[in-house]
Amino acid sequence: MASGLFALLDDIATVMDDVAAMTKIAAKKTSGILGDDLAVNAEKASGFVPDRELPVLWAISKGSFVNKLIILPVAFLLSAFAPVAVTVIL
C-alpha cells in the first residue's frame, strides 16, 4: 500500500514539474508582448501637470488594449497553425 502512495506522489510531482516547465516557456515567449507598456507609460506620463496625467494614462491604456486585441489573437493563431513561423519571428 505504501508503494502505491509513493507512486501517486511521484506522478503528482512529475505533473507539477511539467507544468512549471511549460509556464516558464510561456512566460518567456509572452514577456515581450506584455512588457512593452511599462516603458511607454514611464516615458509618456512624466512631466505632465496632475490634471493631464490621468487622461494621458487613459489614452495609453486604450491604445495598449487595442494593440493586445490585435496582437494576441494573431500570435495564438500563428502558434496553432504555423509554429515554425513563431520561431522565425522571435
Question: Residue 71 and residue 62: Cα distance in Å, rounded?
Answer: 14
Q: For 79-90, how does the pLDDT look when each residue is reduced to its tens digit (9 = 90+)?
A: 888 888 777 776
pTM: 0.38
Using DSSP's 3-state secondary structure scheme, residue 18 falls into helix
What is the chain's Cα-based Rg? 21
pLDDT in tens, 19-30: 888 787 777 766
* pLDDT computed for residue 69 by the predictor: 87
* pLDDT at position 37: 54
Query: 45 near 65, Cβ under 8 Å?
Result: no
pLDDT of residue 32: 59
pLDDT band at 31 (very low <50, low <70, confident <90, very high): low
